[in-house]
Chains A and B, each alone.
Chain A
Amino acid sequence: MNYLAVLLDAKRLADIQGTALEKKVTDMFGGAIKALIMEMPEEQTKKVLSAFPAARLDARFFLEEVPIAVKRAIFEEIKRSKSIEPKVIDAVMAKADQLKEAVKKESEYLPVPEID
């Protein structure tokens, strides 16, 4: 089994507050990072890797470097369906062609974070 971690910042945590998803939040690195960890069957992993070649399966069997636009769509689908089951990824992959345009732009520009 492979996995995909959907990172949760303060806004995303607020978005799922009060839903059943709250109980599924995983602490990573001693709670320094919060995430929803989705299970990814092999076939589904292959589909994502083939549609978005920048994505990689790392040594932890986590699918990483998934384009931000795709990650965003996955979170929106999680929020909508209140689920982290594989059907979430199926729903996102059904609109993979639409996402590809946003992904292309991402390979040229990513906003610089504002830090002190």
Chain B
Amino acid sequence: MELKMKMPLPHGGRLVDRVVTNPRAGKKMAATADAVYDIKPTLYNGMPVRNVYREIMSICYGFFSPCEGSMTKAELERILKERRLLSNWVFPYPMLFDISEEDLKKLKVQEGDRLLLRLKGQPFAVLDIEEIYQIDAKDLATRTFGTPQANPEVVKVAFDNKHPGYNIYSSYNRMVLAGKYTIINEPKMRSPFDRFWYPPAKARAEFQKRGWNTVIAHQTRNVPHVGHEALMRNAAYIGDIKPCDGIIVNAIVGAKRIGDYPDETIVEAHDMVNIAGYVKPSRHLVTILLWDMRYGNPLESLLHAVARQNMGVSFHMWGRDHAALGPYYDTYAAQILWENGVPSFGFDKPPYAVDYGLLMRPQNMAEFWYCPKCTEVTYSENCNHDKERQRFSGSFIRSLLAEGVFPPAVIMRPEVYKTVVKWWKILGYPFNNKKYLAERENELEIDLAEMKLK
């Protein structure tokens, strides 16, 4: 009987690596392009809600292996019906390079052409066009997230324009260029994101260097409160013959909602948990994933599992309202998927039990709350003091901060709060506001070296 675990293989068997690191080779590829296109953000009500560059980064660096590019019509249909790529591997979301009809006319490209994609005025990537087709963005948005009629197991309320993920897909341009991406100008990650940038190959090497065989992932889009920390530490008691060797925090970095914390604050606040010694730095690693959150609860959990398995992670903690927003999905939709499957999404069994599924063991967790009687943060399945218990609430903590109240240590570590204040001073505001989101869209998370083409 083998009890000890090894690092899981990448999803699909091998890591996608579509980044040309040799500038000369990159330049040569760029020179063969038939047309040039400047990447534009997806806008909703004039605000940037997505930038396809983040998808290109996550695909080319292997986070979304085995996906290699913008999907063909047939692949898109398979994703929407069965959440599978044409190669049969589980994959939750459409990955599409969409452009307007007007832009397509100007570009005059056709199937078989190579399109050079520029970002921040510099050559960034190429897209080798295999197919050009039309989409209906509203239909895409509805089918991506599901409906109460078609997916009654988990969808409770029909999606509408109060859901930011729905707004992303429903704002896509009409034309899709399908084909593989290749990054031809290796980007430099901007500070402070650079020290948290662990693409799958680098993450796997780091885990090996640290002697980590078993790693559990913590999903975040938030500054950590003490409840998050308790979740992280306790969930990590799962493992093989001992608790997990490592805990990775994988923060989603990308366009977010007004009122959320800025990404800079999120990553450094999580890092502070280990710097201040609440979890040993040798056991805790903060990393990022470039992705404009779709807030798709069970589907988002699949994407998280894909990215994190590719990074070499064996376990994933799933909690209440995983990557969720609003009343659309069942509160426990992600846990339902990982415990029983969701047949209407193509899972008659959990994603780890289906063919071409994920090698990710779920750790479905209930809640952590503060109990004044236990005088500690305790697990909801242990503590029976229902009248005394107090649940953590991110919204409550944001209210505290906005009112200028120093949060008590039982809610937020003082070092974490000081990190929030550090970025508040730098950015001029504690949360995402219109000004921050607009500036962030200009700067993005990367810089590109000048690449002159003849």
**Residues of A with Cβ closer than 8 Å to B?**
5, 7, 9, 27-33, 54, 56, 58-60, 62, 64-66, 68, 71, 107-113, 115
Contacts and interface: CB of A to CB of B under 8 A. Distances in A.
B421 interface: yes
Interface stretch (B13-21, B62-70, B234-242, B427-435): B427-435
B402 interface: yes
Given A59-B320, A59-B391, A113 B429 contact: no
A64 B186 CA distance: 43
B411 A110 contact: no
23 contacts: A5-B396, A7-B405, A28-B390, A29-B390, A29-B408, A30-B370, A30-B372, A32-B409, A33-B408, A56-B395, A60-B393, A62-B395, A64-B393, A64-B395, A64-B398, A66-B399, A68-B402, A107-B258, A108-B435, A113-B421, A113-B424, A115-B417, A115-B421
Interface in B369-404: 370, 372, 375, 390-391, 393-396, 398-400, 402-404
A58 B418 CA distance: 25
Contacts, number: 83
Interface string B142-163: 0000000000000000000000
B259 interface: yes
Contacts of B395: 56, 58, 62, 64-65
B411 A29 contact: yes
B259 A110 contact: no
A50 B335 CA distance: 32
Contacts of B424: 110, 112-113
Interface string B406-425: 10111100000110010011
Contacts of A32: 408-411
A65 B370 contact: no
A54 B396 CA distance: 13
B372 A110 contact: no
Contact of A107 (B403, B405, B428, B433): B433
A113 B406 contact: yes
Of A9, A28, A31, A71, which is in contact with the most chain B CB atoms at under 10 Å from its CB? Answer: A28
Contacts of B430: 110
Given A58-B393, A59-B393, A110 B375 contact: no
A113 B404 contact: yes
Interface residues of B, number: 36
A7 B403 contact: yes
A66 B398 CA distance: 10
Contacts of A65: 259, 395, 398-399, 402
Contact of A64 (B372, B399, B417, B428): B399
Nearest to A56: B395
Interface string B316-333: 000011000000000000
Given A7-B403, A71-B403, A30 B375 contact: yes
Given A110-B430, A112-B425, A58 B403 contact: no
A64 B393 CA distance: 9
B429 A109 contact: yes
Contacts of B321: 59
B104 to A, nearest CB: 36
B429 A108 contact: yes
Interface string B237-259: 00000000000000000000011
Nearest to A4: B399
B406 A110 contact: no
Contacts of B434: 107
A109 B394 CA distance: 21
Contacts of A29: 370, 372, 390, 408, 410-411
A89 to B, nearest CB: 16
Contacts of B421: 112-113, 115
A54 B429 CA distance: 15
A9 B411 CA distance: 16
